[in-house]
Amino acid sequence: MTRPGVRVTRPGGEWRNWARTERVRPQRVEFPATAEAVQRAVRAAADRGLRVKAVGAGHSFTGIAAAPGVLLDLTDLSGLVAIDRERARVTLRAGTRLHRIPALLAPYGLAMPNLGDIDRQSISGAISTGTHGTGARFGGLATQVVGVTLVTGDGELLRVDEQENAELLPAAALGLGALGVLVEVTLQCVPAFLLHATERPEPLDSVLADLPARVEASDHFEFYWLPHTDVALTKTDERLPESARRHPLAAPGRWVEETLLSNVVFGALCGMGRAVPAVVPAISRLGARTIGDREYTDRSARVLTQRRGVRFREMEYALPADRVCPAFEAVRALIDEHGWRISFPVEVRFAAADSLWMSTAHDRRTGYIAVHRYWREDPAEYFAAVETVMLAHGGRPHWGKMHTLDAAALRERYPRFDDFVAVRDRLDPTRIFGNAYLERVLG
């Protein structure tokens, strides 16, 4: 069954992810618009002996969302359910895309406390894989979750929040899609705020030398290193009250920089770099001279998120924050030694420790190192070498990004792994929400 206007499946019913690393032709695609319809779909799948899986925007690089049985496209299960003004909480339908949320919250003077690089994902997909942004005092998106309602393996509705089934919240807020189908998500918001952003090209070595101090001194710090250069493009965002004066990037400037330079021209350069790898270092050096160096102040979501028009593949590992510099230096040395021509930047971000069982930042202050490759280039050799470095530094892979770990390796890296599996046994004993990726990472 297909339907026009629905974004996650293509005519003919084939689903593929954004990065084009996964594709599947589900036996059935359904478009539930209510929690009851999700319940019916789960029960019907069980009766037919099929597995069932909700997909969000298909922005995971792994097969975590692959649904060969029944694919639940939650595009129609979207929007605001309720606002608790006193406690600054919002309940959203599970398929709501992140980019819709600022407008839903604006009338109430609220915002999400932090976001990742883009806003195309669904709220459920984003929290389920541990999507994060940057900021040493801020957790990933799942740490904003104070309640969820999900349909469990027997088709029943289960509310999990501080009043009901509270012991399940550290599992259900970041559940890898393994515990059930989320139908509602309640987020703890904050008063709407602005961010003052400073973007600068800086000498990489001086950024690394001062890294812990810079991370601590700012609300949101990150940097991109363009391989084959000595330049780090830093981005430092400071939080300001909503009443502060906005100095947004002028709309044409925003378009020229983000859409044209960062995306269209970059895409052409990546294509050129693929055809003639020897030109990549020169292109990167040119890029390092021309990108960055700007300041602006705007609403939080506009500053935190950008557009990504050039398709790529990504691996990202979470490290103890104090391992970021040595691991980064090892990646830099790898690129030099192997002579790879890498046209995409290495991205470094930070997050606070949290207590969610499957969070990459579980119980430790965390730094993230992400490596990327243009989607038409084979990432295997580069990613495998980087993964070895990350594992040696105590890394945990992002659940939605490429990695090769299995349950045995992950169990050692997550102290609450077995507790999570026990919750899975309780909520999905028949593994109706399973797929090949979950079999690999959870056993």
**Residues in touch with ligand FAD (CB under 6 A):** 18-19, 53-60, 64-65, 74, 94, 116-118, 121-122, 124-126, 128-129, 131-132, 176-177, 181-182, 308, 398, 400
Choice between 247 and 426, CB closer to ligand FAD:
426
Give which of 442, 430, 437 is closest to 48, Cα–Cα: 430
Shortest spacing between CB 99 and ligand FAD, in angstroms: 11
Give which of 340, 335, 320, 314 is closest to 391, Cα–Cα: 320
Shortest spacing between CB 289 and ligand FAD, in angstroms: 25
Shortest spacing between CB 181 and ligand FAD, in angstroms: 4
CA distance 180 to 149: 9
Choice between 108 and 298, CB closer to ligand FAD:
298
Shortest spacing between CB 241 and ligand FAD, in angstroms: 25
Structure tokens at 137: 């005092």
User: What length is written for the chain?
Assistant: 443
Give which of 398, 325, 403, 405 is closest to 133, Cα–Cα: 398
**Non-local CB neighbours of 416 within 8 Å, separated by 6+ positions:** 170, 357, 358, 362
Choice between 286 and 298, CB closer to ligand FAD:
298
The dihedral built from the CA positions of residue 87, 89, 91 and 94, taken in this order, carries a sign that is negative
Choice between 284 and 366, CB closer to ligand FAD:
366
CA distance 95 to 124: 6
Choice between 96 and 285, CB closer to ligand FAD:
96
CA distance 158 to 343: 46
Structure tokens at 196: 């003052």
Shortest spacing between CB 203 and ligand FAD, in angstroms: 25
Choice between 57 and 204, CB closer to ligand FAD:
57
Shortest spacing between CB 399 and ligand FAD, in angstroms: 8
Give which of 310, 300, 233 is closest to 266, Cα–Cα: 310
Give which of 57, 66, 67, 39 is closest to 123, Cα–Cα: 57
Shortest spacing between CB 318 and ligand FAD, in angstroms: 9
Choice between 204 and 442, CB closer to ligand FAD:
442
Task: Please report which helix (H) or strand (E) contains residue 169, including its range.
Answer: helix 169-172
